[in-house]
Structure 1
């Protein structure tokens, strides 16, 4: 086990060794799990996303970065950023999710995993800075509980749909990234909140050819409900104490359960020590994958540590190699 000095009132390794983490399973899916998600996907694909490209905001790392807006399910008009190659047509397309803090800009997700790529970096509904939506809380503890009483109203399902609609917007704005028009399949990158959303989104969308999930959340909810943490999972644990029936809703939004359906090549970066997203849930996502998978073990997630910068660079190199192998132009 990896351990660091910290002041959390719990052990962010949760007492698990790597061997133990690699044996954590996924919960069983509800009987209508696949039908539920296929229906949500069909609804999202029926949306006219009407994307609009904003003015150039910056240029770096071989791309020009513009603001972008698009429409998602329920008429939500969301924003984000679009990265386009400085020279020539895009040879690859990426959808890049974000953590539960939202995003203030494209940040460290640019440079992109492959050269001559285009990418959309959306803000999902409710979260800053360009996803703020009336009625949806903009902090993680409030957001993760929004609509949680029903699988049909839970905001996490709409956030997954926001990623699907972002992919549609990317394909419309950059037609060479559209597999239906002869382009290669898309890549997906998501960290923490975005990693969990990616596990829920990717099994149903054949526009994608490979994905990277870094310290993914929402893995193995029954286990997560027993593990104290400093992230959004603690709000869910608190809600569960007063509403134990929520376990039936959470079964439909379990990233590890969804991962059992995720057959495209997937790179998972999972941490041994993480106070915000308990490692057992992260590894449950990796362990559930039935297709080609790679694991990058991180010493820690959501925590500053001496080797953090070096491990980040190792992961950056691994993802470039991974997508270069699995996304063919």
Structure 2
């Protein structure tokens, strides 16, 4: 497939200038404070998956407004002591799926929390975690749901769910809270960047071909959904463009990523028409912490696939391994940002 966006050289030199709401920090502080005040405790129920090397739990965590958010917890069978942890957020339209489907990180020796995404997925109408808000005026999909007001927007609820899910993961006795990494592909990558900007003290962040970054540009150049939902909405509501993008700025992961401090490993695909590379680079360039990068020049939204999982496994191993004595092999370091 051909390039549909800027070249790699242009993306590497990009200096994104995004409109940031003056009250962005206050908005999220108040949102998260209200969610925590709603109370509630996580619930975990053992699940028999038929797997012998991974122990799985059905997880329910109080999310936005204390509403239940489902997920899975996978642990290496017989694991002893607090473990490094990977919290994973899912791609657009995906729910948590079946309990045996995603066990890579547990097989690598980590605690692995997988968060369901409210209103998405297939196992029931609206998934295992329904979206409780009933809002009119949107086009099919989630990007314009509640777009008239940032307090009503769908991703305000999702990002809050994600923060509360990470907090629950870090509080679990099987998890070392200081060795917790967040990750996700596409929508999950955008959520992981938002969480990185909203939750201090994470060990690492792995956004993979991230969605929800430089949303206005995505709406103008993406050739395939979900960004096209915004263009479709504005095709019908010609007079609402500025109000729509003012709302979406509150959930733009590129803006929230500037507040992050944890080390990060990004992946970006240069022939991606779903999450155009310039939008992903906007988040990469604005990211507030140390950052590493893998670029897949001839891939679309599938990105690096299994090749990138291999890169992530090595990166997390180096990041979360206990430091070795200097006289043994020297200190571990992160690589400088570079395309693969």
TM-score (norm 1): 0.84
Task: Give runs of aligned pairs for residues 91-110 of structure 1, distance below 5 A.
Answer: 91-103=83-95, 104-105=97-98, 109-110=102-103
For residues 82 and 144 of structure 1, the distance between their equivalents in structure 2, rounded to whole angstroms, comes to: 28
Deviation at 1:14, TM superposition (A): 2.0
Where relative contact order (Cα < 8 A, 6+ residues apart) is larger, the structure is: 1
Deviations 1:115-143 (A, max 9, x none): 33212111121112322234569x99422
1:79–1:131 Cα contact (<8 Å) kept: yes
**Greater CA drift, 95-104 or 273-282:** 273-282
Structure 1 unpaired stretches of 5+: 5-10
Q: Quick check: 2:58–2:70 contact (8 Å CA) kept in 1?
A: yes
Partner in structure 1 of residue 288 of structure 2:
290
Q: Paired residue for 1:76, among 64, 67, 72?
A: 67
Specify the alignment match of 2:31 in structure 1. 40
Residue of structure 1 equivalent to 2:202 = 208
**Per-residue Cα deviation, 1:205-256 (whole angstroms, up to 9, x for no partner):** 1242101000101111231231142121111122234121211111212121
Residues 53 and 107 in structure 2, CA contact (< 8 A), matched pair in contact too: no
Are 1:136 and 1:143, in contact at CA under 8 Å, matched by a contact in 2?
no
Write the distance in 2 (CA, Å) between the matches of 1:49 and 1:185: 25
* 1:244-281 deviation line (CA, Å, top 9, x unaligned): 12111112121212222222101111111112222221
Q: How far apart are the structure 2 equivalents of 1:135 and 1:37?
A: 19
Deviations 1:51-85 (A, max 9, x none): 22223242559422222222212232221211112
Unaligned runs of 5+ in 2: 122-126, 323-340
Cα 1:106–1:262 shift into 2, 3 Å: farther
Task: Give the total of aligned pairs.
Answer: 307
- Cα shift readout 1:282-321 (whole Å, capped 9, x = no counterpart): 1211121232111111232335xxxx7xx42321121122
* RMSD of aligned Cα (Å): 2.6
Residues 1:327 and 1:48: Cα distance change in structure 2 (over 3 Å): farther
Question: TM-score, length-normalised on structure 2?
Answer: 0.81
1:87 aligns with 2:86: no
Structure possessing the higher radius of gyration over alpha carbons: 2
